[in-house]
A and B are shown apart, each in its own frame.
Chain A
């Protein structure tokens, strides 16, 4: 059965090949390169489906790992390039290739007539490749490479319309915000790998790290420090507060790119990595609590921001932030499978919503829902697919979003039942946020589709290439939820799919909550909406020592909680219908809530604060200070040394050389002149005087000799 899994690398390689080929020959082709991208992704997609099927029906499977020693890194350590195929990889491969394939097809029509059409498809290929490289990575260094390449591609695609300043700014913001998170990721990966130094030659290997963490071979410091830093990377990449600010701005890119970023290829990376390293995460209660709290804050406050937006894409962007909050929170409350399940279903319905939004925007030439209205008649296919997506996002029963979101809440509930405070936080805040979600999606849907058209362009339905992907995604937005429902058979289901040799049915968290031992173990599962194990067996087995099992088992119906969800859904829907059912109200009620509305419109001031207290000081003040210190202070010292040397030199020259030393030389010359002036008088030219002196001298000498005798 592994035969197909061996070829997982082909899934990764094809999009890269597509990018290279499109760059090389794309412009000469009749489809301007789009056919290469679609063909490559199509094959990738089919292969991914095959891999997903293999891993699903045979789940739980033994992970398949293949790696080559790509380069030595010194000290005997090796960087491997490799693939690790297990259920998690297969889920991600399926999601990424599906969304990317749909986006490719969709873009062929959507981007028609755009400049840089060929370049766009090449970038889509590269983007997909980067994400897949991360997804199949068998080691963290390769994951980092994929992660950063994803960041680059997002930069290039968000800034696709680089003529405009705001688009450039958005691209820079996205890259730099995520790059800031990458500091955490990179240092975190380094810290984890350092913990592996004595244990292996391949310190980045994910399976080895997971096993070491599970076997207690990594120190608590390594785990806590490493995972918190890596989580910082996830905060930025997966749009968690307060580093979510880039995500709404990233809407500057073409809409298909937004779909790709939000559904599959970028924001999911952080969640994926947490899931990939879940055995490490699970070692520390502190790490999990941090993750849960960040997730809860994001899922609630991120969702609220969508209330006041007029730009449809921004509404969806904030809803993504909120949904990502659910996924992160789920990880934080031990909902490893729930998180990925929600990621999986969310990928489909969010891609659907974005592509639907693209279809609407294409029709009315505006992003704003205030310019739409009455679109249901003109665009029937877009209408019903969008409704499906909205229902899934709002968690309407029997859609995929319903099942996956309830899994997240159930995870919170189980966690709470085990005595962890964060569990109840996730459960209740998550429930409240679902009300918000329903309300803002209903607001958008009413304003877009109900009432009279406010558009300046007569809207028209999009072509087949755009509607087709919408329909497929709409089907998936419902169908994908049935992988893990109370109706699901025991196995295979989504949980067995994600099980690994470490995270198997017996695996439990190594710590216990406050109330777990007191509470009767078997009943902690009962509080979920659809919560917990169908049979309380795994928990009961583990419950004797108070430990919580990592995989929860198949969920079951809990009618009271189901009723609560329905009441919330319909009350939000009713409220939205009251306000927006008859078209755009003159004064949008979401903007009439005083300081609360103002805070939302200002996005809680994060963007502003980030710009004012981080960007400006660093870019303008700190850099100027550094340059000043370089040019004036440090170079001042250098110049000072130079000048002092010069002064010393001048002094030496003037005093020592010119006066002392040269003075001596001059003195000798002057004294010679003075004496010669005196002595020259002897030279009278009078021969007779000379003769006289001569004689006198001779006589003196004779006398002297005589005397000497």
Chain B
């Protein structure tokens, strides 16, 4: 199987995620974009495992992908909790308003 398809998909997904993180104002959408990037990486991991080490019983790439899915879930949990708190404090989830950490 040609790796082109999955790699192009992953590149597309990652770029979409980058765009979302940089451009979107809504904090929830930013989180989702982060998920997009993570999953683009997952696709790459699985693809390169099979491309570079076919038949390796250790399947390291797949294992990493599984971990990332778990960590991403946790991250979204924490992220959403922050967003909730932010919304509760200032009735907005716009990331432009969250500029307290400036000079």
Contact = CB atoms under 8 A, between A and B. Distances in A.
Contact of B96 (A681, A686, A692): A686
B100 A685 contact: yes
B98 A687 contact: yes
A695 B96 contact: no
A683 B99 CA distance: 10
Contact of B103 (A683, A692, A695): A683
A692 B18 CA distance: 8
A28 interface: no
Contacts of B102: 683-686
Contacts of B23: 688
B58 interface: no
A684 B102 CA distance: 5
B45 to A, nearest CB: 19
A695 B20 CA distance: 13
A688 B95 contact: yes
Interface in B3-59: 18, 21-23, 30
A691 interface: yes
A685 B101 contact: yes
A578 interface: no
A518 to B, nearest CB: 130
Contacts of A691: 18, 21-22
A680 interface: yes
**Interface residues of A, dominant DSSP:** helix
A684 to B, nearest CB: 5
A573 B18 CA distance: 153
Contact of B18 (A683, A685, A695): A695
A695 B37 CA distance: 13
A688 B95 CA distance: 8
A459 to B, nearest CB: 121
A680 B21 CA distance: 23
Contacts, number: 31
A681 B103 CA distance: 7
B75 to A, nearest CB: 15
Interface residues of B, number: 13
A692 B22 contact: yes
Contacts of A680: 103
A684 B103 CA distance: 7
A510 B24 CA distance: 139
Most buried by A among B23, B99, B103: B103
Contacts of A686: 95-96, 99, 102
A672 to B, nearest CB: 15
Nearest to B96: A686
A308 B22 CA distance: 134
A31 to B, nearest CB: 111
A226 B100 CA distance: 107
A687 B96 CA distance: 8
B69 to A, nearest CB: 22
B99 A685 contact: yes
Interface string A663-684: 0000000000000000011011
A687 B95 contact: yes
Contacts of B22: 688, 691-692, 695
B21 A684 contact: no
Contact of B99 (A681, A684, A692, A695): A684
Contacts of B95: 686-688
Nearest to A679: B103
Nearest to B99: A685
Contacts of A683: 101-103
B83 to A, nearest CB: 13
A687 B21 CA distance: 9
A678 B98 CA distance: 23
B98 to A, nearest CB: 7
A695 B17 CA distance: 12
B57 to A, nearest CB: 33
A688 B21 contact: yes
Nearest to B103: A680
Contacts of B101: 683, 685
Output the residue of B22, B96, B101 with the most chain A CB within 10 A.
B22
A78 B23 CA distance: 116
Interface of B: 18, 21-23, 30, 95-96, 98-103
Nearest first, the 6 closest Cβ-Cβ pairs linking A and B are A685-B102, A685-B99, A680-B103, A683-B103, A692-B22, A685-B101
28 contacts: A680-B103, A681-B103, A683-B101, A683-B102, A683-B103, A684-B99, A684-B102, A685-B100, A685-B101, A685-B102, A685-B103, A686-B95, A686-B96, A686-B99, A686-B102, A687-B95, A687-B98, A688-B21, A688-B22, A688-B23, A688-B30, A688-B95, A688-B96, A691-B18, A691-B21, A691-B22, A692-B22, A695-B22
Given A685-B103, A688-B96, 17 more contacts: A681-B103, A683-B101, A683-B102, A684-B102, A685-B99, A685-B101, A686-B95, A686-B99, A686-B102, A688-B21, A688-B23, A688-B30, A688-B95, A691-B18, A691-B22, A695-B18, A695-B22
